[in-house]
Amino acid sequence: MSQVWLPCGDYHQSYEEDQGWWQTRFIKFKMILLLAIIFIVIPLFAPEYVISVATMVGYTAMGALGVQLLIGYTGLITLGHAAFIAVGAYTSVMLVLRFPWPQFIVDWGLAYPISIIVAAVVAGLWSVLFGLPSAKVKGFYLILTTMAAQFITVDFILTQYVSQIGGRGQAFSLPPGTIKIGPWVIDNERKVYYLMAVLITLMVIVMANLLRSRVGRAWVAIRDNDIAAETLGINIVWYKLLSFFVAGVMAGVAGAFWVSNTAALSPEHFPWFWSLWLVGVILIGGVGSIHGAIFGSLFMVVIMELLQWAVIPLSEYYPKLLIDFAFLKDMAFGLAICAFLIYEPNGLAYRWWQIKNYFNLWPFSY
C-alpha cells in the first residue's frame, strides 16, 4: 500500500516496497522535480556560465563516484584515480580521431558513442591491473600502488608515447563537429551539459543498483572486516578486483565525457592533484554515500568559483593574487578538508540525512 508519508514507522509490506526507489508519493514528487530542474530548467533558462559550472560539477561527480566505490564502499584507498580517467579520455579520442572506422559509422555519428563504451572497458581493465596488489596488500601499501598508476600511466605512457602519435606534440586537437552522437553534434555548452546529465544519471542508477545487490553487500562486508567476510565465504580477491573494474569503468566514462568538453586533450588535464582532489571531494561530501560524491563535487566547484569571484576585484589592488590563484585554490582545498574533518567528519551527506529525518519525522523530530 502506497503511503504519502512515513513519519514514525515502517509501512512496507514486501521486500520490493522496502527496496523501492521512490517509496512515497512525496519522494516521487521530489525526484520528478529534481529531474525537471536538471534536464529542463538549468539547460533552457540558466546563463551559459551557470551551465559550464554545472557541467564541471557533473564531471567531478563522475570521477568521485569511482573513488567513492573504492574508498567508501570497499575500503580500498586510492590516490591514482586520475590515471584511469586519463585512460578513458585518450582511448576515446584515439578511437574518434585515429581509428579507421567504416564510413557509415562516421556518417551515422556512432564513433563517439562506441568510443565511450570501449574507453570504459579499457579503463576498467587498466584499473584491475593496478588493483591486483590489493590481493596481498592494503592501507599505506595500496596507496603507493595506486599512486604508481598515476605516474606510470600519465607521466610516462601517455606523455612520452601516446601524446606523440601523429606528431601532434603534447595535445590532440578536437576540431568543431568532431564529437557527435548520431546527428547530434556536441558543439556548445548546453549540449555538453545534456550529455553530462545523461551520463551522471545513468552512472548513479547503475551504482545504486549494484550497491543494493549481492555484490554491493559483499563490498561493504569487505570494507567493514575483510577477515570476517572471507570467513563467511566471500571471495575477497574477486570482489576487490571487481570493485577496481567498476570504478575504472566509471573513470573511463568520465574521461570519455571530458573529450566533449575540451578543444584539445593533453596529459596536463589529469595531474596527480586531480586524484587527491577527488578523495577530498568524498571526504567533504561524506564517505560511503552516493550523495556524498555529488554534494562534495557541488561544494568544491562552487566554493572555487566563489573564491575566483572574490579574487578578481581584489586583483585590481593586489595584481599578484591572480598569479597566485592556483596556490590560493590549493590552500582553500586544504582548509576545507581540515574544517570538515574537525567540525563535520561525516560529511555533507550525513547533514542532509539529518535534515531529511527532521522534516520526515516532524512534529516528533525530537
| Per-residue pLDDT tens over the stretch 21-75 | 777 777 888 889 999 999 999 999 999 999 999 999 999 999 999 999 999 999 9
- The helix (H) or strand (E) run that includes residue 116 is helix 111-131
Helical pair 48-67 and 189-211, crossing angle rounded to 10 deg: 30
Give the per-residue pLDDT at 1: 46
Residue 285 has pLDDT above 70, yes or no: yes
Dist CA 139 CA 79 (whole Å)? 11
Cβ proximity of 196 and 49 under 8 Å:
no
> What pTM does this model have?
0.91
Give the per-residue pLDDT at 10: 55
- What CATH number should be reported for the domain whose range is 49-361? 1.10.3470
Residue (of 247, 11, 256) closest to 149 by Cα position: 247
Give the per-residue pLDDT at 308: 86
